Amino acid sequence: MNYRHIYHAGNFADVLKHVVLTRLIRYMQKKDGGFRVLDTHAGIGLYDLSLEEAQKTGEWLDGIGKLMEADLDPQVSELLEPYLSAIRELNPQGGIRFYPGSPKLARMLFRPQDRLSAMELHPEDYVRLHRLFEGDHHARITELDGWLALGAHLPPKEKRGIVLVDPPFEEEDEYQRLAEGLEKAYRRFPGGTYCLWYPLKKGAPIKEFHERLQALDIPKMLCAELAVRSDRGITGLTGSGLVIVNPPFTLKDELHQLLPALKDHLAQDRFASHRAFWLRGENKAVNDD
């Protein structure tokens, strides 16, 4: 209940998460039928990076700040365009003052037939999120523990959907809860595409987390990780990862282009690295650097 994403909005972890989210949305839109994005830990939806909290950490400067100024390869630029265009749309005067959280970003990319369900437990953040989408019939905002949504709000009535699970990782058992939440959700909605975020930092039980996921009866799980610095002598966040369940068949090749570019432009030291690999399903690594 104490977590405030404003301190971290637009950082390198947000960049990875939101770039992959836009690729998932664009893939879903290849079919005419509508789909739903279920965001279990939605936050406030839109972040003002000029506020004291964001300025205090300045994390966005090493994330979206760097990427917006990067000289990108044309193919990479094309893949990033939905994401970067949304940010430019929010900042018509130039620069970066406003940064979209996942629910706002998804909504900006929607067609008329697409829908959003966003969950937020923190009372003050829920009020702000609800106010942001007030009157928007494409969005349903609920004050609810996001872990409960993985049971109560699945499957969506559209029968097509992306489930984004991005907990704050304030508790020691969040990796376990993430695996348990996926297992429960998958039983209810096996055809959904799930995107699970997790932090990389020294001592984190990543190997055990991956093994727990591999033990689940889920045919295809693709993993993407980006570390921007070494974890040697550092206790904080050094990178982040995503597990994508039922990934689009195009995502493997897109990550092959995106991850090296994100590493090059967001690296904070020479130990920055990236990797993408199958936890379940196809065994060929996308990249590992």
Residues 108-117 have pLDDT tens digits of 999 999 999 9
145 is in an annotated binding site: yes
Q: Is 41 marked as binding a ligand?
A: yes
Range of the domain at 115: 33-46+101-280
Local confidence band at 283 (pLDDT 50, 70, 90 cut-offs): low
Residue 70 lies in a domain: no
DSSP 85-118: HHHHHH-TTSS--EEE-HHHHHHHH--TT-EEEE
Give the full edge-to-edge strand order of the sheet including 273-280.
Answer: 139-142, 115-119, 36-39, 161-165, 193-200, 239-245, 221-227, 273-280, 287-288
CA distances to 4, 230, 284 from 38, rounded to whole Å, are 20, 33, 30
CA–CA separation, 165 and 162 (whole Å): 10
**Domain for residue 52, yes or no?**
no
pLDDT digits (tens, 9 = 90+) for 206-235: 999 999 999 999 999 999 999 999 988 788
What is residue 4's predicted lDDT score, i.e. its pLDDT? 67
Q: Is residue 92 part of a domain?
A: no
- 80 occurs within a structural domain: no
SS3 state at 265:
helix
- Inside any domain, residue 136: yes
User: Does residue 240 lie in a domain region?
Assistant: yes
Q: Is 289 a catalytic residue?
A: no
The CATH number of residue 266's host domain is 3.40.50.150
Residue 256, annotated as binding a ligand = no
Q: Is 146 annotated as a binding residue?
A: yes
pTM: 0.95
Q: Is 63 labelled as part of a ligand binding site?
A: no
Q: Looking at this protein, which amino acid is placed at residue 289?
A: D
Active-site entry in 32, 136, 166, 269: 166
Q: How far is CA 92 from CA 62, 86, 88, in A?
A: 21, 10, 6
Q: What digits encode the pLDDT tens for the residues 22-71?
A: 999 999 999 999 999 999 999 999 999 999 888 988 999 999 999 999 99
Quote the CA–CA distance of 247 and 207 in Å, as a whole number.
21
Look at 121-130, 147-156, 230-239 and tell me which has the smallest mean pLDDT: 230-239
**Number of domains, the chain:** 1
Q: Is residue 243 part of a domain?
A: yes
Within a domain: 78: no
